[in-house]
Amino acid sequence: MLLHMFLILHLQVLVMASSSSSEEDGSSERDDEHSKGSSHQHQWGYHDQDTWSSAFEHCSGKSQSPIDIDTHKVFYDPRLPPIKLEGYDLTGSPALTLINNGHTLQLSLPSSMRIMRGFDHVYVAAQLHFHWGTTEVPGSEHTIDNIHFPAEIHVVHYNSKYANLTEAASKADGLAVLGGFIGIGLHENDNYEKILSALTDISIEESDTEIPGFNVRHLLPNSLERFYRYNGSLTTPPCFQTVSWSLFNDSIRVSRRQLAALEDTLKTEHNKLLSKNFRAPQLLHGRKVLASFHTVSTMGKPREAPQPETQDNNVMKTSGGEWHILAITFGVLFAITFLVFSMYTYQQKKKYSKFKKDSKQNVIYKPAAIGKDIDQTSVTIT
């Protein structure tokens, strides 16, 4: 439904600058259907995503979404502010509209839901939606080290300095989307059931229903502290490159049965199953992916976000300096050891040659060999 809303929004932006006041719901979708006759370009599907850019120029831009998150290449950025949500704990009424728009399952959200901290502006929630695959094919849009999760949730927010989602969608700082990966767990997820239990009511394309409000925060992972951040786009036409993405490292779990319900219930055009509604990962084109936490790779060798005037760079210099000090210390220690050993050897040799003069016996210790061992050790240290 959210995805649907998202799509509808995009279409709205293109098709009609001034639409009715109850935007982003079934009515606008139907308007869009009407406009198809005159402007063929608004039809698109996941089967022909290679051709999106012929009708939607932004889709071939250099900051497209989704992407693969290579956890070995993300930059730890301790300055990323924590994400603070407000108003997510909705009560039973007013009800929320859940829609099957033919592209996704989308839930409309009230503007009382906001991201208060984490960005330069307050961002207002508009809708949430899902991407999924089939029982055989995992269908998250973003991938982690080239691995898809079974499904992905997107909560779409727009910058509060704009009047609405439609207006914000084409602005550089217009959108902030929170993304969560959905995996399979042993237990039923009661929070997701609040949406999934209504699926059978909207199996037909372009249908909607009302569900009681609930705490939407519970659709997101338990921990919002660890997230990736990058600049990207809408993952559906018109692919505007106006999204600040936040993808949570902690994932969400639903039962196998619940995931199957998402994958097997909704129908799209020609009564076909609505599934595999995910776009393939797009090229980074030099974009950086930041992380609010240390990944496995950043713990080994810090890859801090390259930014000017920073404590972080100082931290890196400090640790680099410490390493040098360590190396020098070892070097000096070795030199002293070697010196002492050499002197000792020299003295012993003198004693020995004396002794040799006295008795012609052959001898006991091998300073050369020992010296060689030490040399090898020193190579390793240096």
Ligand X SMILES: *[C@@H]1O[C@H](CO)[C@@H](O)[C@H](O)[C@H]1NC(C)=O
Residues designated as active site: 103
Burial 258-272 (b: 16+ CB within 10 A, else e): bbbbbbebbbbeeee
Taking the least distance from each CB to ligand X, the nearer of 23 and 205 is 23
Distances (CA, A) of 228 to 45, 70, 125, 143, 311: 28, 11, 20, 12, 21
Taking the least distance from each CB to ligand X, the nearer of 89 and 145 is 145
* Closest distance of CB 63 from Zn ion, Å: 16
* Closest distance of CB 164 from ligand X, Å: 4
154 binds, among ligand X, Zn ion, none (CB under 5 to 8 A by kind): Zn ion
d(Cα 24, Cα 108) in Å, to the nearest integer?
8
Q: Rule CB under 6 A: choose which of 246, 249, 258, 277 binds ligand X.
A: 249
* Closest distance of CB 31 from ligand X, Å: 11
Say whether residue 241 binds ligand X (CB under 6 A).
Answer: no
Say whether residue 288 binds ligand X (CB under 6 A).
Answer: yes
Q: Rule CB under 6 A: choose which of 37, 47, 270, 296 binds ligand X.
A: 296
d(Cα 127, Cα 119) in Å, to the nearest integer?
19
* Closest distance of CB 228 from ligand X, Å: 7
Concatenate the DSSP letters of all residues of 205-256 into one string: TTEEEEE---BGGGGS-S--SSEEEEEE--SSTT--S-EEEEEESS-EEEEH
User: ω into residue 238 within 30 of 0, thus cis?
Assistant: yes
249 binds, among Zn ion, ligand X, none (CB under 5 to 8 A by kind): ligand X
Torsion angles phi and psi, residue 217, rounded to 5: -55, -30
Site stretch for Zn ion (CB under 5 A), options 109-117, 150-158, 251-259, 270-278: 150-158
125 strand-pairing partners: 157
Site stretch for ligand X (CB under 6 A), options 91-99, 162-170, 199-207, 311-319: 162-170
Token output for 303: 């890859």
Token output for 107: 């839930």
d(Cα 267, Cα 274) in Å, to the nearest integer?
5
Total number of residues binding ligand X (CB under 6 A)?
20
Taking the least distance from each CB to Zn ion, the nearer of 169 and 305 is 169
Q: Rule CB under 5 A: choose which of 114, 154, 267, 303 binds Zn ion.
A: 154
Q: Rule CB under 6 A: choose which of 231, 255, 310, 378 binds ligand X.
A: 231
Say whether residue 19 binds ligand X (CB under 6 A).
Answer: yes
Q: Rule CB under 6 A: choose which of 71, 207, 209, 255 binds ligand X.
A: 71
Task: Centre a 10 Å sphere on the Cβ of residue 235 and count the other Cβ atoms it contains.
Answer: 29
Say whether residue 251 binds ligand X (CB under 6 A).
Answer: yes
Helix (H, G, I), strand (E, B) or coil at 195: helix
Nearest to 134 by CA among 45, 260, 1, 279: 260
**Continuous segment of H or E residues that includes residue 326:** helix 311-358
Token output for 79: 């300055």
Say whether residue 3 binds ligand X (CB under 6 A).
Answer: no
* Closest distance of CB 8 from Zn ion, Å: 12
Site stretch for Zn ion (CB under 5 A), options 85-93, 109-117, 151-159, 272-280: 151-159
Q: Which chain residues interact with Zn ion by CB under 5 A? A: 154
Residue ranges binding ligand X (CB under 6 A):
18-19, 21, 23, 71, 144, 163-164, 166-167, 181, 229-231, 249, 251, 288, 290, 295-296
